[in-house]
A and B are shown apart, each in its own frame.
Chain A
Amino acid sequence: MPHYKHLIFGALSLCAISVSHPSAAPCAPMPDTVTLNLNGRLFQPFSFDHANHIALIKECSDCHHHATGTLVLDPNCARCHQNSSAIAVVSCKGCHSSTPFSPETIAATRAKTDRYHLDRLGLKGAMHKSCIGCHSKEGAGPVGCQDCHTRSKEGDAFYSSDRLGAKPANAEGH
């Protein structure tokens, strides 16, 4: 009988933990696909399979930091965001500027003297860092430019591949 008591106690406490730390916090409606590179000139827009990535990664915070999902695990972020709760802005572009180096963005960053995150990646940099960073771990996913987004005619001209017809893009990968 005392053994049963222990087991019940243990089971109850486990339940309590899982309830207080829900693995996926209730958040804004999640899109199944996201069209990325919408304004791309050199590379065409493409559809990002958000649903598939959720199924594969499960941890929202791996990509969305502390904005949604579980608490942050990165020890450097955890120094301040250990107990940060989910926030309303979840999409990448909500925080990462698509024009990180425009005079307006630089002036705005300089004006906010109380801000800690001065070294914030732009939208393009954040996405490539997130995607390529994860994909390059033990061949988890594609890393070549055109494996995700096909190059446009203008892009071919830009990389001088149309008239010189040298090697195809990313023949050797990265």
Chain B
Amino acid sequence: MEDFLVILLKVAAIYGGVIGTAALYTLAERKVAAWIQYRIGPNRVGPWGLLQPLADGVKFIFKEELVPAGANKLLFRLAPMMSAVPAMLTIAVVPFAGDMTLFGVDTFGAIAKIDMSAFYVVAIGGLGVYGIILGGWSSNSKYSLMGGLRASAQMVSYELSLLLGILSIVVVSGSADLYDIVDAQSGAIWRWNAFQQPLAFGLFVIATFAETNRHPFDFAECEPELVAGFHTEYSSMKFALFFLGEYCAMIVMASLTTTFFLGGFEVPFWADAPWVIQLAAFGAKTAFFLFLFLWVRWTLPRFRFDQLMSLGWKVMLPLSLLNVFLYGALTSFGAFGD
């Protein structure tokens, strides 16, 4: 019974934490944009505008639901859910901290610890593409359709690089369990996969930008060409769900980059740190990647769509394959035999 309560507590805490972070992240996006452009940003609701996300949420709830004429009513309502739910489900296996004891129950700092967690995230996260295609298609608007299709072609193209990057990490770690992958990077800081596999690190980070439809690859909502892309016709909470899903996906991707390449929750040179410190270390590393998403968005110009597809298929895919080969050969001939 206590076990069950602890599990419930963990699920609620992690899910609540991620949703809360996503809400604050929307504020951070506007604040960072403002700072980069030498403005102030939202500062009216609460101290430093901290309650802005809450105000936005309330406003979204009371906004009018608009279903465009000729739209497929059922799919139009389902699409935001199909976009947000997979992103929120991927947080289930992210290891936020190591072993811990809560109320006398020995447990670990993730919702679930499964053997194939490294591939679970790709398998579930990849399903987010349906929400975008269907959202774009069911709106009965040309902009939406084009945005949705572009985004889906982009997401499947870059999912390969993501998968191959994970594969090369798994080869070296010898396990597909995220906890084992983190373990393999414990101890000295140069044991982090970012230093062991710099090429895979670079490719993975680029692929996370494309997977989450973020700048410079945000063709799903390419404003100058497609108004707002696949969610042009969406309003109120349905619109908010698309965004919540996108921000959750970004948080998950940042967490995964941390887990795969920056040693996850491990504190360098302090193998058995208490879980609170591990959680803080994880948060700090993830925050860097979250900031990177914003920094890049307000700094770089956007790609052109054919350039994006060329980059994905002609550069990222061959390089990812080569990288898997390289580390496969090193592992197979005993270079990592420790």
Query: Real complex partners, A and B?
Result: no
List residues of A whose CB falls within 8 A of some B CB.
Answer: none
